[in-house]
Amino acid sequence: MAACRDKGVRFSITVRQHQGVRNIIEAIPEANWTPIPYWTEGAEDGAETIYTPFASEPDAVPVRLIVRRVKPTPGSQLALFNAYNCHDFITDRDGDTLDLEADHRRHAEIENAIRDLKYGVGLNHLPSGRFPANAAWLAVQIIAPKLACRMTRVGLGEPVVTTKTPRRRFFSLDGRITRKARRLILHLPQDRPWQNQFSSALARLRALPLPS
């Protein structure tokens, strides 16, 4: 925060939920929580309060603490006696609470995309000591998950997944290609998981009209 202020840069920084922060969040009045538009009505709320990080330091300054609380979904893990998952950050930016919360949440989406590029494709291994070669590698690495995403949405009719999932289930599917009546025939192992999904996706993709 001090470095941002020295450079005149506004900040939004995720805060670790130690007991002091949790106590501040729990003290927010229920009337201060505003519903966040979500696919399930009433699943998320946002609120704002004041928090002073490192309050014992002489240069401590109070900042806005913006919190998003989320009702648990099946399979989610909560701490004992907690009714919500809470995600919070501090900021010195101006603006509406929910607008800032939505903007901060987009950072996490970007981080997920970068993580997928690193560990789902191969961006964590730049192959060369030459900048142009690495630039070409970067371009290919960005194209690959886009194609995987497109295949998943069009071929499988499923929402976006990480690149690892279609690569493990479909791109590395072993099979045997034979020729019959001047046609190529793909034979897949009978006991392979996701075989039916693969065949259905292949049929859907083949049925797409060619670009003119």
Secondary structure of 77-139 in the HEC alphabet? CCCCCCCCEEEEEEECCCCCHHHHHHHHHHHHHHHHHHHHHHHHHCCCCCCCCCHHHHHHHHH
Nearest Cα to Cα of residue 26 among 53, 52, 47, 54: 47
Q: How many whole angstroms from its chain centre is CA 142? A: 16
Cα–Cα distance for residue pair 131/30, rounded to 1 Å: 54
- So what's the pLDDT on residue 46? 94
pLDDT at 81: 47
Cβ atoms of 138 and 162 closer than 8 Å:
no
Residue 12: the pLDDT is 92
pLDDT score, position 77: 56
Which residues sit opposite 70 in a β-bridge? 44, 85
For each of the chain's 212 residues, which pLDDT tens digit applies?
Answer: 888 989 999 999 999 888 999 999 999 999 999 998 875 666 789 999 999 998 888 888 999 999 999 887 655 555 544 678 888 999 999 999 999 999 998 877 777 888 888 888 888 888 889 999 999 999 999 898 888 888 888 888 877 678 888 888 888 878 889 999 889 888 888 777 888 888 888 889 889 888 87
Strand ranges, E, within the chain: 12-14, 34-35, 44-51, 63-70, 85-91, 176-180, 183-187
Q: Specify the pLDDT at position 52.
A: 93
Domain positions in the chain: 2-94
Q: Cβ-count burial of 27 within 10 angstroms (0-12 exposed, 13-18 middle, 19+ buried)? A: exposed
Separation in Å, CA 66 to CA 55, 93, 131, 202: 18, 11, 41, 46
Residues 6+ apart with CB under 8 A from 33: 45, 46, 47, 69
Residue 40: predicted pLDDT: 62
